[in-house]
Amino acid sequence: MSQKEILTNGNAFKRTDGRWGGVVWYKDEQGERKRKSFSGTTKTEVNQKMKNYIVEFNKQKNDSVESLKTLQESMQSWLQVFKFPSVERSTYDRLEATAKNQVYPVLGKKVVGDITAADIKKLLNRRMTEGYAYTTVKKVHNLLNEYFRYLYQQEIIVRNPMANVEMIKKANFMSAQGKENLPPTDTITVFTEEELEKFKAESFSVFSNGKRKYQQAAAYILMLNTGLRTGEALGLLNSDVDLARKVLHVQRGVKEISKRNGVTAEHGREVAVGKLKSATSKRDIPLNDTAIEMVNDLRSEFYFGEDSPLIPDEHGEVTRPVNFRKRYYRILKAAGIEIKGLHSLRHTFATRLINGTKDKDGNIKSLTPRQVADLLGHTTSEITELYYVKRDMKMLTGITDGFEL
């Protein structure tokens, strides 16, 4: 399909009836030559009409040609039309945040068709030298890669600038920032035995009048003994707990998402209760004695019925993740423990089960990575081993005794 195009700047002429006329020739989307006629009482009037028509024609042409739009206008439209209907709301929030915070400030005002591989590479290098995390820069690369691939496949641009922009290798990225590229297992954060004792003690600490300092303290210990994600824990209903069979049914999750009017983000965030992260996330988790004790503790603190949340707010509604997280960080600070994300409870659970515990005779009791992956709701045990289990070399002490060669 051809692009619309103005062929003449307009020709004014005096008609036989004494009035003035004018003609602007243009090419339509099918490539056919056409004309637009104008009339008026004076030559100036006709020339102004033709000028206004040409200005509006070119404006509409630019609006209809994606490659002539700014990247911000084009990418935002692409996100709203193609990504918003096809991904989870929380995923869309992350994509839009990456675009608004990382891409638009640097490339947003550039015309899409003028953007080069060098422009994109400069953006990625700039974010790297500014100290952004590798995962953040990789999100920028992934977003731009998908967006420009769409433009190229739709023949909106004649060449894909991302074809020559590979994501820098993580080792080189970390080296450029003067950091060591540690294996994933070494970057996992878990609680030490001493930290666990401090955390538990502070979680259930009380004021001088005997009232507990922290609401829902048992929820954190429940997560520590079940490996629940934050959203999974907050999505539990009392009816999901079967104490007779000592099992927990994980069936839904809680997320905080941006408030929106259609696709347009508004100020503030809201809680959404919906499906879990993946199909394997829907699972049954066995409850040990400590987990059962924590369930009973939560119910003694707040209980609004079987169809209400196990970890409710004081009104019986779903607890907002942001409030749950803030309370957790207050406990850490008061206990004098270095800041660790809520996911560290899940990491500690996985690490303890796979690395195992030693009995008095030095024997190690542990679970297989596959068993722990099933408990965590992972598709593969490789994910569990790579990203959830911190290596504990102390557990290897004496382990080769009796294996002399």
Q: What is the CATH number of the domain that holds 264?
A: 1.10.443.10
pLDDT confidence band for 1 (50 / 70 / 90)? very low
Read off φ and ψ for residue 26, nearest 5 degrees.
Answer: -145, 165
pLDDT confidence band for 62 (50 / 70 / 90)? low
Indicate whether 207 and 134 sit together in one domain: no
Domain extent, residue 52, equals 5-64
Note whether residue 83 is domain-resident. yes
CA distance 191 to 337: 9
For 190, 320, 392, the CA distances from 385, given in Å and listed in that order, are: 14, 30, 13
| Least reliable range by pLDDT among 86-90, 97-101, 182-186 | 182-186
**Is the pLDDT reported for residue 3 higher than 90?**
no
pLDDT confidence band for 393 (50 / 70 / 90)? low
Indicate whether 199 and 288 sit together in one domain: yes
Indicate whether 199 and 342 sit together in one domain: yes
Q: What is the CATH number of the domain that holds 136?
A: 1.10.150.130
Indicate whether 176 and 88 sit together in one domain: yes
Indicate whether 210 and 285 sit together in one domain: yes
**Is the pLDDT reported for residue 173 higher than 70?**
yes
- Percent of residues, the chain, with pLDDT higher than 70: 96
Note whether residue 391 is domain-resident. no
CA distance 101 to 351: 35
Indicate whether 203 and 244 sit together in one domain: yes
Indicate whether 339 and 208 sit together in one domain: yes
Q: Identify the domain boundary among 306, 334, 349.
A: 349
Indicate whether 212 and 333 sit together in one domain: yes
Indicate whether 204 and 337 sit together in one domain: yes
For 48, 68, 69, 110, 166, the CA distances from 113, given in Å and listed in that order, are: 31, 6, 8, 9, 20
Instruction: Give the number of domains in the chain.
Output: 3
- Percent of residues, the chain, with pLDDT higher than 90: 74
Indicate whether 100 and 13 sit together in one domain: no
Concatenated DSSP letters for 198-231? Answer: HHHHHHT-B-TTS-BSSTTHHHHHHHHHH---HH
- When the pLDDT of each residue in the chain is averaged and rounded to a whole number, the result is 91
Write out pLDDT tens, residues 23-47.
Answer: 999 888 778 899 999 999 999 999 9
CA distance 275 to 253: 6
Write out pLDDT tens, residues 319-373.
Answer: 999 999 999 999 999 999 999 999 999 999 999 999 888 777 777 788 999 999 9
Q: How high is the pLDDT of residue 360?
A: 74
Degrees, nearest 5: CA angle 366-381-383: 115
CA distance 320 to 269: 10
Q: Considering only CA atoms, which of 337, 333, 349 is closest in space to residue 220?
A: 349
Concatenated DSSP letters for 134-170? Answer: HHHHHHHHHHHHHHHHHHHHTTSSSS-GGGG-PPPPH
Q: Identify the domain boundary among 64, 80, 105.
A: 64
Note whether residue 404 is domain-resident. no
Degrees, nearest 5: CA angle 301-305-311: 45
**Is the pLDDT reported for residue 391 higher than 90?**
no
